[in-house]
Amino acid sequence: MGSVIAFWILAALVVGSAVGLVVRRNPIHGALFLVVNLGGVAALYLMMHAEFLAAAQVIVYAGAIAVLFVFAIMVLIPGKEETGPDPLRAQRWLAVPLGGFLALEIALVLRSTVFTTSRSPATVPGGVEAVGRLLFTDYLFPFEVTSFLLLAALIGVMALTKRKAS
Amino acid sequence: MLPLISFRAIAPGMALAATACLLLLLDLLPTRGRKDHLAVVGLAGVVLSMILSLGLWGSDERAFNGMVRLDGFALFFNLVIGFATGLVLLLSIDYLRRQGMESGEFYILVLFSAVGMTLMAGAGDLIVIFLGLEVMSLSLYVLAGWFEGRLEAGEASMKYFLLGAFASGFFLYGIALIFGATGSTNLDRIAVAVAGGAARDPLLIIGFGLLVAGFGFKISSVPFHMWTADVYQGAPTSVTALIATGSKAAAFAALLRVLLSALRTVQPDWAVLFWGLAVLSMTAGNVVALAQQNIKRMLAYSSIAHAGYILVGVVAGGALGGGGVLFYLLVYTFTTAGAFGVILLLERDGREAVAVSDLAGLATRHPVLALTFSVFLLSLVGIPPTAGFVGKFYLFGAAVRTGYVWLAVIGVVNSAIAAYYYLRLIVFMYMREPEGSPTVLVPSLPAGLALAVALWGVVQLGVLPAPFLDLAQAAVIPLLR
Amino acid sequence: MEYVSLLMVFAVAAGVAGALMGIPLLIAPKRTSPAKQAPFECGKDPVAVAEGRFAIKFSTIAIFFIIFDIELLFVWPWATIYRTLGWFGFVEMMVFLGVLMLGFLYIWKKRGLEWE
């Protein structure tokens, strides 16, 4: 019972912050709503005992990515003189039929039996130890490749931002 | 359980990765300001990787719990990727210095993208395909915008990155859904699950659709081609060659492995899908290419059309179609790297000569270069005795023999349409006089060497294709077991 | 239910933060002066920041931070099962960290971490 109540509170928090993110005109406020949203999703992961995922969500997304968003907004935010009227304003009306279509789609999915029957809940444990054990045995190769991916990202950042200095 | 750690299985990729790390260290050493030596060391690494691939020929192993496969298929693609990377390194040396954009990071990133491509070619697991895709793409996003300060370079990098990130998102989502439907990301285990009845699972179908969207982006097939022309135009010409050859070959390698080894039992279902993609890509690419005045944009649409031709072989499937795809990708690598290599040697009024009209009168002033370019163009059209003819012949032949006659007919009609815009370039070179100052050739020894290798490839594969065709067909066999 | 303790930490944090903000509001004397009314900006001139742009340098540092943050995320599960993994796990992690430290060395030597 307690977990059901907690779920609904979290769900309201997640959906509410997502709405806030879309509605707020100030991008910084939007970014803060995003942090709330990511934190709420992390709590939802925790409720499903996916502890590693929850921690990753908080450390990487709510922590680092949100910081990057804020900096990117600070760098790119245009002065008042640069924001003219939205040239594609007419396209906004497309949101109404497309949103309706999506709602219809979700309703159909929820009503259908395809996604409810015969699918057991996750069999893979999501605790940190379980993830670690998988990561260092079965997924050893992808794990090591990840370090290479991060290295490529580092060099890419250097090439993009610091090339002139060198 | 500890996985089987086999350095043998990843030796070609390891050679490239170690070279990339070595370049990192070399770049830190104080030098006289030139970075040629990095390209030379990188080239040595590429050659070493190709030699290792040849030395491992004939092996068929799985390592790291099925994450990596060492088979003829992976090795064949290692050679294709090696040729692509090596040619691009050679083409870049003088080109970058001329544009004032030489920097150690360039060669490092080229090597990194080659590592990603090799990973994709030898991946036995969707996770490894994804990681390879990302290593390759991240490097290429940066390389595409190398000429900072040029408006079109920023556009190229930005478009490639944003749309590529979307495509990666689709791809990853597709992997997640396939994992949900089959309980594994390993291609062998997916094949077992699909044969065992997971094929009708809507999760699998949606997941596979998302996967196709991700692959479609990388092979620039219609309707995922929107980025192609702008990126090809704005990227440095040598990088354009890498995107057109290496990244496309790697994406086709991973796509073909997924289709032939994991989803072979449901071939009739996906063949319909790729039939449509092939026809759309061929037709749209060729029709739009007719109107282009910029050679790089024209070759971009030509590359979309070629993705369509190669998809014909994918539709046909089996050893015939798969072998045709592998052979054509090798041919396409030589031809396209050569064509871009010619363009990057041309300058007019101190800027890069990339307009069709810049070619006017080239044949009288630089007959050898004009002839070389003509050979590459004829190979793109598919006129004998160039390699392009043999490649197309086997692709369409495979389609006919597997019953896709109409697909082959559409392909042949498209080749005829395409002849117009390729031959137009030859007409400009041989039959027009330049207006204003003429286009000049900037001589470069490494680029000349690259063109010679590409020319050798086009002629060799055109005149004596049989041994290479046998290799290509043998390379597909491990997937069909 | 096992996460109730986590919830309690959040509750205590919220309580302390609320108290720190609420109690002065109720009992602290309010004597304003122009200097106190000015927005606080860490000793920097607070004028014109809202309209101006941040330098791209901040973003560069933030991206480096993300990359090493992700690295940290992989170290954590490794540390929890380090004893069961033994030497093999140690070598695995050293390879992972070694590749990344190579990148760290690179950006350091290339002055990627310097502000100017």
Identify the structural domains of chain C with CATH numbers, from first to last. 54-116 (1.20.58.1610)
Residue B348: predicted pLDDT: 85
Give the number of C-alpha atoms closer than 13 A to the C-alpha of residue A72, restricted to the C-beta side.
11
Residue A165: predicted pLDDT: 44
Q: Confidence class of residue A166 from pLDDT cuts 50, 70 and 90?
A: very low
For range B317-331, the mean pLDDT: 93
**Three-class DSSP labels, B297-315:** HHHHHHHHHHHHHHHHHHH
**pLDDT tens-digit map of B349-386:** 878 888 988 888 888 889 999 999 999 999 999 998 89
Do residues C87 and B9 lie in contact, with contact meaning Cβ atoms separated by under 8 Å?
no
Residue C41: predicted pLDDT: 62
Residue A81: predicted pLDDT: 47
**pLDDT tens-digit map of A98-123:** 999 999 988 887 777 665 554 555 55
**pLDDT tens-digit map of B3-61:** 778 888 899 999 999 999 999 999 988 776 788 889 999 999 999 999 999 999 988 88
Distance of CA B458 to the CA centre of its chain: 16
Contact B21 C99 (CB under 8 A): yes
- Number of domains chain B contains: 1
Mutate to test the interface with A, among C4, C5, C63 (most CBs of A within 10 A): C63
Considering the domain boundaries, does residue B241 fall inside one? Answer: yes
Considering the domain boundaries, does residue B481 fall inside one? Answer: no
Is B64's Cβ below 8 Å from some Cβ in A?
Answer: yes
- Of B396, B398, B401, B376, nearest in space to B462 by CA: B376
Do residues B52 and B75 lie in contact, with contact meaning Cβ atoms separated by under 8 Å?
no
Please tell me which of the candidates C88, C102, C109 has its beta carbon nearest to residue B21.
C102
Cα nearest neighbour of A124 on chain B = B183
Contact B21 C106 (CB under 8 A): no
- Of B137, B112, B28, B14, nearest in space to A152 by CA: B112
Number of Cβ within 10 Å of residue B36's Cβ equals 16
Is A132's Cβ below 8 Å from some Cβ in B?
Answer: no
**pLDDT tens-digit map of C40-98:** 666 666 555 555 566 777 778 888 889 989 988 999 999 988 888 888 889 989 999 99
Query: Tokens representing B421?
Result: 């815009």
**pLDDT tens-digit map of B397-407:** 999 999 999 99
Torsion angles phi and psi, residue B6, rounded to 5: -125, 105
Contact B65 A138 (CB under 8 A): yes
Burial class, B50, CB count within 10 angstroms (exposed 0-12 / middle 13-18 / buried 19+): buried
ipTM (interface predicted TM): 0.92
Considering the domain boundaries, does residue B348 fall inside one? Answer: yes
* Residues A81-107 as b or e (16 or more Cβ within 10 Å = b): eeeeeeeeeeeeeeeeeeeeeeeeeee
Mean pLDDT comparison of A156-165, B59-68, B345-354, B444-453, highest-scoring range: B444-453
Question: Regarding beta strands B346-348 and B68-70, do their DSSP bridges make them parallel or antiparallel, or are they unpaired?
Answer: unpaired
Considering the domain boundaries, does residue B304 fall inside one? Answer: yes
pLDDT at B309 over 90: yes
Mutate to test the interface with C, among A1, A49, A71, A145 (most CBs of C within 10 A): A71
For range C18-36, the mean pLDDT: 84
Q: Confidence class of residue B334 from pLDDT cuts 50, 70 and 90?
A: very high
Nearest chain A CA: its distance from B456 CA (Å): 33
Rounded CA-CA distance B462/B323 in Å is 16
Lowest mean pLDDT among B101-115, B204-218, C60-74: C60-74
Q: For the whole model, what pTM was predicted?
A: 0.91
**pLDDT tens-digit map of A63-110:** 889 888 888 887 776 555 455 677 777 888 888 999 999 999 888 877
Q: What is the mean pLDDT of chain B?
A: 92
Measured CA to CA in angstroms, residue B350 lies from A85, B368, B418, B439, B448 at distances of 40, 22, 31, 9, 20
The sign one gets for the Cα dihedral B171, B173, B175, B181 is negative
Residue C101: predicted pLDDT: 93
* DSSP sequence for A6-30: HHHHHHHHHHHHHHHHHH-SSHHHH
For range B388-393, the mean pLDDT: 94
Considering the domain boundaries, does residue B3 fall inside one? Answer: no
Lowest mean pLDDT among A59-68, B277-286, B292-301: A59-68
Q: Which residue has the higher pLDDT, B234 or C30?
A: B234
Residue C42: predicted pLDDT: 66
For residue B398, what is the DSSP state?
H
Is A165's Cβ below 8 Å from some Cβ in B?
Answer: no
Helix spans in B223-317 (H): 228-234, 237-242, 248-257, 267-289, 295-316
Q: Which residue has the higher pLDDT, B340 or B437?
A: B340
SS3 (DSSP) at B380: helix
Put simply, the chain C residues between 10 and 49 with a CB less than 8 A from any chain A CB are: none
- Of B307, B318, B339, B223, nearest in space to B268 by CA: B318
| Element containing residue B85 per DSSP (H, E) | helix B72-98
Residue B53: predicted pLDDT: 94
Do residues B328 and B394 lie in contact, with contact meaning Cβ atoms separated by under 8 Å?
yes
Is A108's Cβ below 8 Å from some Cβ in B?
Answer: no
**pLDDT tens-digit map of A18-51:** 999 988 878 888 889 999 999 999 999 888 888 8
Burial class, C36, CB count within 10 angstroms (exposed 0-12 / middle 13-18 / buried 19+): exposed
Please tell me which of the candidates A141, A148, A155 has its beta carbon nearest to residue B17.
A148
Residue C32: predicted pLDDT: 79
- Of B240, B249, B247, nearest in space to B144 by CA: B240
Contact A140 B134 (CB under 8 A): no
Measured CA to CA in angstroms, residue C4 lies from A3, B85, C10 at distances of 10, 56, 10
> By residue range, what is the domain housing residue B392?
11-475
Rounded CA-CA distance A94/A90 in Å is 8
Query: Tokens representing B414?
Result: 């498209």
